[in-house]
Amino acid sequence: MAGTILTTEPRVTTGKQRSVLIIYTGGTIGMRHGPRGYVPEPGLLAWTIRSHPAFQDPTMPPGFTPASRHGQRIRYEIKEYDPLLDSSNMGMHDWVQIARDIERHYDEHDAFIVLHGTDTMAYTASALSFMLENLDKTVIITGAQIPVSEVRNDGVDNLLDALILAGHYDIPEVGLYFRSRLYRGNRTRKTDADGLSAFSSANFPALARVGIDIDVRWEHVLAPTGERLRVVPITCSNVAVLRLFPGFPQHVLENFLAPPLQGVVLETFGSGNAPDNRPEFLAALRRASDRGVVIVNTTQCDRGHVEAQYSGGAALLDAGVVGGADMTTEAALTKLAFLFSSDRAPEEVRRLVGRDLRGELTGREPRRRFSFREKAFVRSVAETLSTSDPDGRAAIAGALYPVLMCSAARLGDLAGLRRIIDGGADPNAGDYDRRTALHLAAAEGHVELVDYLLSVGASPDTRDRWDHTPLDDALRGGHARVIARLRGAAGTDADA
Ligand code: ASP
């Protein structure tokens, strides 16, 4: 599924309606204050939101939001768990229940919201991201610091924003929404016990920002695999977290690593360091690794990578400890549990745990995109083209032209663009995201390039992987002259 609606000026989809299943597991969002503090109250959340005008169109049966200014209506159902849980009381079986409920209702709904307590929300979000293999629908987990039953609360906004996101966009990931940010769930941690911005994602940017406009950062969103959803339940609970501190007692370490432990997240100092002046400490880790325990090194710092920069880090590698890159503890722990749940051999788990499975870690080398201006790239293209046979040349040119045209269009390089198109490139050819030169020129506000591309037959109605037209890009960038050009040229279905 591609994105259906976008940022500043969503396309009008009058009559269209999206269905969202809200899986309500518990948490502060639906609690009421009692004599022993906050406790979940069955039925309260559903009652509260249905009596709220933003969630319920009075002319419609229960569970329909009013139509948006673009005619989009969201139908939602609430599936309330019994009992409702404070998330501190949740276990791994609760993660599996949520995943199974999404699987059971997958074909009936376009998107899913999981209402959850904030305390362990980042663990559940991480676990779901691993268990929901081949996810191609939006899943958003959210909750609140103050229940919707209170006059001043953050629950209404968090749920409403999550519903709007889920009801308009296909973001095929497990996201965590809180306080105007949609994060990749397995990148988050709860970092504030009191504040309303309770979550952060220090090592990865937000997937969407909700302000006056909704800005989905599509360049950060994972592409769906195109395969059918498969739930791989987490069943292995022989995993644990060990946070080092100076002078960590040896006997505690030995006891901690004893069977049946299978996976450990070792939270180390700074960029992944541990003492290298305690041979008995390293020997205990080595013995555990040799027995098949997989130990993953993550940092105690909020931000940054683990790498063997110092000899303390190198000593850990020698002891069989695997580098966890920039994974959160929550992601590393649930990933270990997930990998061990499918009866993998420790060697296989060791190999996979340091690999990016669901966008939960960043490799050391930042992903690079080809650039038209990169001399080495251009030189190697030229060499390849001059040495290959005519058929090979045509095939290479066909594959490269779209990327080159997009680069030239983004840079405002009219001469370069003309050269490529005069050389036989199809102005409507799209790159790997199906973005055309016209998308790029429109997004950057290059009016002359837009005029030129329209004059050589570039179509203003073409849609990229996220279903965006060049006009959508121009609207998003606020490029009035380009908007006017494209509106003049667009066919009926690109009208915003
Ligand atoms: N203790 C609550 C929970 O995690 C806190 C919350 O929901 O914010 O369920």
Average pLDDT over residues 1-29: 62
Band of pLDDT at residue 364, cut at 50, 70 and 90 = low
Residue 19 Cα to ligand 1 middle (Å): 27
**CA atoms lying within 13 Å on the CB side of residue 334:** 31
Residue 41 Cα to ligand 1 middle (Å): 13
Helix runs in 362-413, H state only: 375-387, 390-411
Residue 377 has what pLDDT?
52
**CA atoms lying within 13 Å on the CB side of residue 177:** 31
Unique residue bearing structure tokens 């290479």: 396
466 has a pLDDT exceeding 90: no
Model confidence pLDDT, tens digit, residues 214-232? 999 998 999 999 999 999 9
Pocket test for ligand 1, best of 36, 45, 87 (most atoms within 8 A of CB): 87
Band of pLDDT at residue 369, cut at 50, 70 and 90 = very low
Q: Tell me the percentage of the chain whose pLDDT exceeds 70.
A: 89
Residue 331 Cα to ligand 1 middle (Å): 19
Residue 8 has what pLDDT?
32
Atom of ligand 1 nearest to the CA of 28: 7
CB 189 within 8 Å of CB 200: yes
Residue 195 Cα to ligand 1 middle (Å): 13
Q: Is the peptide bond before 246 cis (omega within 30 degrees of 0)?
A: no
Residue 327 Cα to ligand 1 middle (Å): 23
Residue 300 Cα to ligand 1 middle (Å): 23
Average pLDDT over residues 402-411: 88
Q: Which of 91, 77, 27 is nearest to 49 (CA)?
A: 77
Atom of ligand 1 nearest to the CA of 121: 4
Element (H, E) at 438: helix 437-444
Model confidence pLDDT, tens digit, residues 174-187? 999 999 999 999 99
CB 236 within 8 Å of CB 213: no
Q: Is the CB of 329 under 6 A from ligand 1?
A: no
Q: Is the CB of 37 under 6 A from ligand 1?
A: no
Q: Whose CA is nearest to atom 8 of ligand 1?
A: 118
Residue 36 Cα to ligand 1 middle (Å): 15
Model confidence pLDDT, tens digit, residues 78-131? 999 999 999 999 999 999 999 999 999 999 999 999 999 999 999 999 999 999
Instruction: Measure CA of the first residue to CA of the last residue in the chain; give whole Å.
Output: 21
Model confidence pLDDT, tens digit, residues 136-187? 999 999 999 999 999 999 999 999 999 999 999 999 999 999 999 999 999 9
Atom of ligand 1 nearest to the CA of 26: 9
Q: Is the CB of 117 under 6 A from ligand 1?
A: yes
Q: Is the CB of 59 under 6 A from ligand 1?
A: no
Residue 400 has what pLDDT?
83
Q: Whose CA is nearest to atom 3 of ligand 1?
A: 117
**Residue with more model confidence, 67 or 477:** 67
Atom of ligand 1 nearest to the CA of 85: 9
DSSP per-residue letters across 232-273: -------EEEEE--TT--HHHHHHHT-TT--EEEEEEBTTTB
Residue 154 has what pLDDT?
98
What DSSP designation does 21 have?
E
Band of pLDDT at residue 11, cut at 50, 70 and 90 = very low
Band of pLDDT at residue 4, cut at 50, 70 and 90 = very low
Atom of ligand 1 nearest to the CA of 144: 8
Pocket test for ligand 1, best of 84, 116, 119 (most atoms within 8 A of CB): 119
Residue 467 has what pLDDT?
81
13 has a pLDDT exceeding 60: no
Residue 16 has what pLDDT?
67
Rounded distance between C-alpha atoms, residue 220 and residue 362, angstroms: 12
Strand pairing report for 214-216 and 174-178: unpaired
Backbone CA torsion sign across 54, 55, 56, 60: positive
Q: Is the CB of 145 under 6 A from ligand 1?
A: yes
Task: Kindly name the residue from 4, 25, 28, 298 that is annotated as catalytic.
Answer: 28
* Global confidence as pTM: 0.75
Cross-strand partners of 37:
34
Helix runs in 9-79, H state only: 44-50
Element (H, E) at 451: helix 447-455
285 has a pLDDT exceeding 50: yes
Rounded distance between C-alpha atoms, residue 218 and residue 150, angstroms: 35
Which tokens go with 483? 């908007």
Phi, psi of 9 (to 5 degrees): -130, 80
Q: Is the CB of 88 under 6 A from ligand 1?
A: yes
Q: Give CA separation, 91 vs 43, 87, 220, 234, 236, in Å.
A: 23, 9, 30, 11, 12
Q: Is 31 helix (H, G, I), strand (E, B) or coil?
A: strand
Atom of ligand 1 nearest to the CA of 143: 7
Question: Is-catalytic flag, 13?
Answer: no
Q: Exposure pattern of 181-190 as b/e (b: 16+ CB <10 Å)? A: bbbbbbbbbb
Band of pLDDT at residue 14, cut at 50, 70 and 90 = very low
Which tokens go with 207? 């997937």
Length of the chain: 496
**Residue with more model confidence, 231 or 404:** 231
Q: Is the CB of 155 under 6 A from ligand 1?
A: no
Average pLDDT over residues 424-448: 91
**Residue with more model confidence, 484 or 467:** 484
Strand pairing report for 322-323 and 294-299: parallel
- Which long-range contacts (C-beta less than 8 Å, at least 24 apart) are formed by 216-222? 216/3, 216/6, 216/7, 216/169, 216/171, 216/182, 218/3, 218/466, 218/468, 220/184, 221/171, 221/172, 221/173, 222/172, 222/173, 222/358, 222/359
Average pLDDT over residues 448-461: 94
Q: Whose CA is nearest to atom 7 of ligand 1?
A: 117
Residue 31 has what pLDDT?
96
Pocket test for ligand 1, best of 45, 85, 88, 330 (most atoms within 8 A of CB): 88
319 has a pLDDT exceeding 90: yes
Residue 346 has what pLDDT?
98
Residue 130 Cα to ligand 1 middle (Å): 23
Residue 206 Cα to ligand 1 middle (Å): 22
428 has a pLDDT exceeding 90: yes
Chain mean pLDDT for the chain: 89
Pocket test for ligand 1, best of 28, 116, 177 (most atoms within 8 A of CB): 28
Average pLDDT over residues 191-202: 97
For the chain, which domains are there?
18-231 (3.40.50.1170), 239-353 (3.40.50.40), 376-488 (1.25.40.20)
Q: Is the CB of 143 under 6 A from ligand 1?
A: yes
Phi, psi of 254 (to 5 degrees): -60, -45
CB 392 within 8 Å of CB 416: no
477 has a pLDDT exceeding 80: no
491 has a pLDDT exceeding 80: no
